Structure 1
């Protein structure tokens, strides 16, 4: 997993727009600030699909970028956006948990027409991505 910093702009009553200084050409938007990181993470994943992930600068390095500094001075702000580089291959793992919790997960997954692994992977992905 890699974390990129998104530069967020919002003017008046418009949507929040996000651009990524370390991923040129990738943009995202959200009408609600609570959807900002999730939408940005999805945009990053789609933009980088099948591509080599560019290096991600640290927060300190982003702050010292003169272009970013100008945007921040004009009212923009930064958000940390995680992106998971999916490989397309499955990996078998062994986990342990309370039997009652495992049973509840199995029942919920079945009700949603998912298997145990898919359900847990989806929950983890959504939690990581915000």
Structure 2
């Protein structure tokens, strides 16, 4: 099992969004925090045998000013 950092973001008039700094363009969302976390795991569906890159550290992700408005969450990927 590998763990990646997702960033939860929410505006007052939106669902909970999750984006992944290690996978630009990969986003997910849910109407509740729990649903957003579950949908984030499903965003990692991949072809059999496809290898994912090594995850970035939390420190590296949060050092990017564009990520500082997100709340980090650990997403476990099989």
Name the count of aligned residue pairs.
Answer: 77
Gaps spanning 5+ residues in structure 1: where?
Answer: 85-130
Q: Secondary structure at the match of 1:38?
A: helix
When you count strand as a share of all residues, which structure comes out higher?
Answer: 2
Larger RCO (CA under 8 A, 6+ residues apart): 2
What is the root-mean-square deviation of aligned Cα atoms in Å? 1.5
Uncovered stretches (5+) of structure 2, i.e. residues with no partner: none
**Cα distance in 1 for residues equivalent to 2:65 and 2:34:** 28
User: Which secondary structure state, in structure 2, belongs to the residue aligned with residue 61 of structure 1?
Assistant: helix
Matched residue SS, 1:67: helix
* Alignment TM-score, normalising by the size of structure 2: 0.83
Shift in Å at residue 49 of structure 1?
A: 3.0
Q: Which runs of 4+ in 1 moved over 3 A?
A: none
* TM-score normalised by structure 1 residue count: 0.53
